[in-house]
Chain A
């Protein structure tokens, strides 16, 4: 299953090679041209003989994770977070270190030896380490190098009632949406950008957008679903099962209202459920794409995801399917009526 395979691949920011190779192998036969740029963005073109507005679809391949920054004398790995991780989720997790996926665990001081008040304080990454079972530093150095990236070791799969759980759904679900869309034929010049380093500052999209300079960009993301306790209803932002979420504004971008209206209209005509992302926090690649060159109109469509940036996230498979449908309908609409802006 595509989503399961994508989720279980390693792709902590700047170490997206495994994801890039996986996607490239699967889409190569369906594109006119495919290239990797100097940052590692994978860009697939479907534009031969096509006229009309050039549309860029983007989804990021990278995930949040950890990095080995030091190895101590006893062979334990000192770590730092890559991307926005709540450090409180790290303790007592299984991880895979480096391109060879060396198994390790994030250890913690046993409860027996803790003072009572210690349990009230979160453990910072400076106090955390990964144990790969090495006997000392030189033993660890046989398998691990400084700078190696570490991902959570989580099995992905169907979950509960029509849901799906796994790591890195932010934004492998977006990658999966793009790969699904590549199955279709559109009468538009399209560029599918699978980008790198979104989680460390939207860096891949910055250069991809500059190079492509499209007339319109669509960012396909996973976004927080806060339809869980203790959040109040008005704080949910998005809800699982209510369809793709359309953003009107976040910290990085204000979406052109005409674009939002067209997306909503397309969804309504096609009977596709959708929701607005009821929040203005967070940032996406849309921000940097929007400000590229003389300005590029951009919209964000997201699959709601619970527990984003934690080791296990949860999405609704129907939201995923509806997201593919909405973008498909939107692209068909552009074929017919041109750009909304």
Chain B
């Protein structure tokens, strides 16, 4: 399966935080009955729904590397029904300004198309347009009678934005949930590249859940696996008007290797070295506390994990038109594979000597 097809399918798949099963199915199919089956030793889904793809290393006790990319997307959730209209709240951090006039799918007893209503300008009071509409004042219209709505929808049903992934010029792709399905695709690509290599390290590629609700999947999977090294693969801000050049990164110029408190200095150095060996273009971001990535959780699992963070530049994060360059994804997969091949016992021992 070409990488673009997988990205397409994953971007379109439904999987808000805590309700990732449908998106997870694509991954589990790919690795149990699909092309990816020979790439890994086994697949395990833990009790919170994280998918753990394991590829063995060499020897009795190989160094253990956890890779993490999150499967969940931001979404909405039904809080109440009101005369056939749906009141809702958020799953994860959504900018309320992107919601108005959006088409959605309400995942009730069946998938129901809906529209987040917008009051027409004609009926607005003077000056009303100066303030953003608050999420608690919005409703979803299913176009159904109150009785039909009540029969099909219950409090707690998840809602996702209706958006198909599309290709732009130059192999740029735009769609929903690129954060962090792009990272998931990079992990898959990494495993593909590793399939013919007998690397020393054991690889535990974890497709995590509930990242958008507070890196919850990573907290428990990192505890359960207790790896020597943990690398999170997530997205960072792509350059666009209004962002300073040091806080946004160029699309198509390769993965962003992150440095800062959540990153072990020797992992940062090793990632750069791997990029240089593989002749992979990369960018560097300095961050103080990226609470919003799995690296933040992995680093402090059990008695501590040497963690790293690699990001894919992404424009318009947390909207339904998140945009990225396919090349960055491939290069991220290549960087991860190169990194893994360079890890041996001596390196892991050295992580405590600095």
Q: Which residues of A contact B (CB under 8 A)?
A: 13-14, 17, 35-41, 67-71, 78, 80-82, 126, 146-147, 197, 200-201, 203, 206-208, 210-211
Selected contact of A36 from candidates B263, B284, B289, B353, CB within 8 Å = B353
Say whether, besides A13-B261, A67-B260, A200 and B289 are in contact (CB < 8 Å).
Answer: yes
Say whether, besides A38-B304, A203-B300, A68 and B352 are in contact (CB < 8 Å).
Answer: no
B354 within 8 A of A: yes
Whether B300 lies near A206 (C-beta < 8 A) is yes
Fill in one digit per residue for B258-291: 1 if any A CB lies within 8 Å of its CB, else 0.
Answer: 0111111100100000000000000011111101
B41 within 8 A of A: no
Task: Write out the residue numbers on chain A whose beta carbons fall within 8 Å of the beta carbon of B197.
Answer: none
Name B287's closest neighbour in chain A (CB-CB). A69
Task: Write out the residue numbers on chain A whose beta carbons fall within 8 Å of the beta carbon of B261.
Answer: 13-14, 82, 197, 200, 203
Whether B304 lies near A39 (C-beta < 8 A) is yes
Say whether, besides A40-B354, A69-B286, A146 and B259 are in contact (CB < 8 Å).
Answer: yes
Interface size on B, residues (CB 8 A): 31
Say whether, besides A70-B244, A200-B289, A207 and B353 are in contact (CB < 8 Å).
Answer: no
How many Å from the CB of A71 to the closest CB on chain B? Answer: 8
Fill in one digit per residue for B112-135: 1 if any A CB lies within 8 Å of its CB, else 0.
Answer: 000000000000000000000000
Name A80's closest neighbour in chain B (CB-CB). B288
The 26 listed contacts between A and B (C-beta, < 8 Å) are: A13-B261, A36-B352, A37-B304, A38-B304, A38-B305, A39-B300, A39-B304, A40-B354, A41-B304, A67-B260, A67-B286, A69-B246, A69-B247, A69-B286, A70-B244, A70-B286, A71-B246, A81-B288, A82-B261, A126-B244, A146-B285, A200-B289, A203-B299, A207-B301, A208-B304, A211-B303
Task: Write out the residue numbers on chain A whose beta carbons fall within 8 Å of the beta carbon of B260.
Answer: 14, 67, 147
Residue of B262, B264, B304 with most partner-chain A CB within 10 A: B304
Task: Write out the residue numbers on chain B whose beta carbons fall within 8 Å of the beta carbon of A211.
Answer: 302-304
Whether B306 lies near A207 (C-beta < 8 A) is no
The B interface is mostly helix, strand or loop, or mixed, namely: loop
B245 within 8 A of A: yes
B351 within 8 A of A: yes
Inter-chain residue pair count (beta carbon < 8 A): 83
Whether B304 lies near A68 (C-beta < 8 A) is no
The A interface is mostly helix, strand or loop, or mixed, namely: mixed
Selected contact of B303 from candidates A82, A126, A146, A210, CB within 8 Å = A210
Residue of B245, B261, B262, B353 with most partner-chain A CB within 10 A: B261
Task: Write out the residue numbers on chain A whose beta carbons fall within 8 Å of the beta carbon of B285.
Answer: 69, 146
Give bound CA distance, A25 to B103, whole Å: 64
Give bound CA distance, A17 to B264, whole Å: 12
Whether B304 lies near A147 (C-beta < 8 A) is no
Whether A17 lies near B246 (C-beta < 8 A) is no
Whether A38 lies near B352 (C-beta < 8 A) is yes
Name B348's closest neighbour in chain A (CB-CB). A38
Give bound CA distance, A140 to B300, whole Å: 34
How many Å from the CB of B142 to the closest CB on chain A? Answer: 43
Whether B284 lies near A38 (C-beta < 8 A) is no
Say whether, besides A17-B354, A38-B264, A147-B260, A67 and B288 are in contact (CB < 8 Å).
Answer: yes
Name B266's closest neighbour in chain A (CB-CB). A38
How many Å from the CB of A178 to the closest CB on chain B? Answer: 20
How many Å from the CB of B333 to the closest CB on chain A? Answer: 24
Whether A147 lies near B286 (C-beta < 8 A) is yes
Give bound CA distance, A41 to B306, whole Å: 12
